[in-house]
Amino acid sequence: MITAAAAVNENVAHISNYLVYSAMAVYTLAFLAHIAEWTFGSRSKVAVQSAALVGEQSAKPAVTVRSQGGTTVLDRPKVVTRTTASDRGIPDGPGAAGEDEQGDLYGRIAISLTALAWVLHVGGVVARAVSVERAPWGNMYEFSMTFGATAVTAYLVLLLLKKNVRWIGLFLVTAVLLDLGLAVSVLYTASDQLVPALHSYWLWIHVSCAIISGAVFFLGATATFLYLFRDNYEVGLTQGKPNKGTWAGIMNRLPAAASLDKFAYRVNAAVFPLWTFTIIAGAIWAEAAWGRYWGWDPKETWSFITWVVYACYLHARATAGWKGRKAAYLALLAFACFIFNYYGVNIFITGKHSYAGV
């Protein structure tokens, strides 16, 4: 379906730019507040209990001597080798604030600033849409801007649902700042109308699903990335080699490796059907725009590769019982495919989707 192009409202387009820059300023304040939260959060009793617990688990079993008739018998208890994070029984850390009143105050300020920045951010996205009277994700600048807003939306929704995701805040705000910084400095495209092939209701359906999928995949990738560090830290605890200092304090505040692993799996599994629909919707749109459902265009190919790697990850978790580092590496590979599909394919590879470029 092709519609007539509307004129660009330059005034509203400028308002969109101002709102995005304002959001970046507030996100920066939220970033500093999160840094203060992690800095002033104290080492909690939970961490000490965790270290004691794994110390008991890793202790060598004693040899019991008993008498059986006239013979002395040595009973050696069975040694269970713990190979996955879920077997350690380590409780979650208390979060970035570390059960510290001052740290908790900074954390609340950070969340409030993040919510304010989100309002400005979403306002910038809406103003961009109004300025051109179309979906605000017709090029890489608009996609990046909307992607960041969607990721923050998912985070705030999880907080409203009372989920233990406060630990994501610092890493999310950092990523959104990098995303918007790259968008306004390298990917920026002035408000304009799109080529005729993109004037379709499928722009609203297909691309919006891709943005939501990518934003949730990002949350899963963040949890997976942190899991690798936390798992390495817990391995040191089980071996009687606890780390000390600032790094240990940070690791102590994070959820247990098993919790991070479970969170990543759940969010990736929850959004995978939407990513599947995204590819199907893209194929339907391609048939309407170019007369074929699939042509192995670079964007189509890498979307399918991303789907395959995520499918392998979920299949391995569901059937082969993969947990821990092997699954984490596969999940990060899948998200790397998604990122390359966006930046690498759009910038460095020519294809039918090139009109969405810089």
Q: Residues, the chain, total?
A: 358
Token pair 């060598």 in the structure block, residue: 60
List CB contacts of 279: < 8 A, sequence separation 6 or more: 303, 304, 307
Q: Give the separation between CA 301 and CA 308, rounded to whole angstroms.
A: 11
Q: Domains of the chain: which residue ranges?
A: 10-58+83-356
**Cβ burial, residue 253 (10 Å; 0-12/13-18/19+):** buried
- Cα 237–164–46 angle (5° rounding)? 35
The token pair that represents 127 in the structure block: 């103003």
Q: Give the separation between CA 263 and CA 164, rounded to whole angstroms.
A: 10
Amino acid at the residue 302: W
38 with 171: CB under 8 angstroms? Answer: no
Q: Give the separation between CA 333 and CA 347, rounded to whole angstroms.
A: 20
308 with 338: CB under 8 angstroms? Answer: no
What per-residue confidence (pLDDT) applies to 164?
Answer: 83
Which has the closest alpha carbon to 86: 230, 248, 219? Answer: 230
Q: Give the separation between CA 138 and CA 129, rounded to whole angstroms.
A: 10
> Which regions in the chain score pLDDT beneath 70?
1-6, 42-89, 99, 195-197, 242-246, 351-358
- R_g of the chain computed on alpha carbons: 25
Span between the terminal Cα atoms of the chain, in Å: 25
pTM of the shown model:
0.83
Token pair 């008498």 in the structure block, residue: 67
Question: In 3-state terms, what secondary structure has residue 171?
Answer: helix
154 with 118: CB under 8 angstroms? Answer: no
Our CA dihedral for 238, 241, 245, 251, rounded to 10 degrees, sits at -20
